[in-house]
């Protein structure tokens, strides 16, 4: 399988690249990154080719791409990859707005390519074991779920609203919502939130 990577803005990009190189039947055919210095550095590190233009990168023969850009650029890269007939694994969140997400899904369906969003928590052993307990009915009916994501804020563009689109809620809560949907086999129908302010006085 021939895989290309689009952007190394997200810290998980290196994890994907290292995992790909461990697979005997996978070839990392190239990296697109319009941050030229970063792109050239990671291409050298992973012994592949750097492309500074998306069109040249997507013209290469490959089966799929992994997108690790800033959140705001997911839509652009997914749509371009779909039009180039590449299957896609995109870092979460899928997009920064619902309308963008729907457009991305529609574009992938029309171009008959697979669009997957990176939700690795589903594949952790304790999460799988709990899912099995739920399905066997050993825990009774679920009436509430309280979750915590132990992720840390990496700073950089993750705290830039224009690039991240929503901060920790968008970047970390999506994992918890995904697990809730998976355990319950249902979609979210209503969202409520409570806020409070600490005062020193």
List the domain boundaries for the chain: 2-117, 120-184
Identify which of 48, 56, 92, 55 has the alpha carbon closest to the alpha carbon of residue 74. Answer: 92
Instruction: Answer whether residue 198 shows pLDDT above 90.
Output: no
CATH of 2-117, picked from 3.40.50.720, 3.40.50.2000, 3.90.870.10, 3.40.190.10, is: 3.40.50.720
* DSSP characters over 161-201: HHHHSSHHHHHTHHHHHHHHHHHHT----------------
- Residue 199 — pLDDT band, cuts 50, 70, 90? low
With 0.85 as the threshold, say if the pTM is over it: yes
The pLDDT > 70 percentage for the chain reads 98
Identify which of 181, 182, 156 has the alpha carbon closest to the alpha carbon of residue 171. Answer: 156
124 vs 193, residue with greater confidence = 124
* Residues 8/42, Cβ–Cβ less than 8 Å: yes
């Amino acid at each position: 399988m021939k895989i290309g990577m689009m952007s190394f803005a997200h810290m998980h990009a290196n994890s994907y690249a290292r995992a790909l190189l461990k697979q005997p039947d996978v070839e990392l055919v190239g990296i697109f990154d319009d941050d030229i210095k970063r792109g050239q550095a990671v291409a050298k590190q992973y012994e592949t080719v750097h492309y500074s233009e998306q069109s040249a990168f997507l013209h290469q023969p490959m089966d799929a791409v992994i997108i690790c850009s800033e959140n705001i650029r997911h839509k652009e890269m997914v749509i371009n990859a779909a039009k180039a007939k590449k299957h896609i694994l995109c870092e979460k969140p899928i997009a920064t707005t619902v309308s963008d997400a729907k457009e991305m899904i529609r574009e992938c369906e029309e171009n008959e390519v697979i669009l997957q969003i990176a939700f690795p928590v589903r594949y952790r052993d304790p999460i799988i074991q709990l899912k099995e307990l739920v399905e066997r009915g050993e825990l009774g009916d679920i009436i509430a779920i309280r979750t915590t994501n132990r992720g840390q804020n990496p700073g950089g563009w993750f705290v830039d609203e224009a690039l991240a689109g929503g901060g920790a809620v968008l970047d970390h809560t999506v994992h918890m919502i995904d697990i809730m949907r998976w355990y319950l086999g249902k979609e979210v129908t209503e969202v409520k939130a409570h806020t409070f302010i600490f005062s020193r006085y």
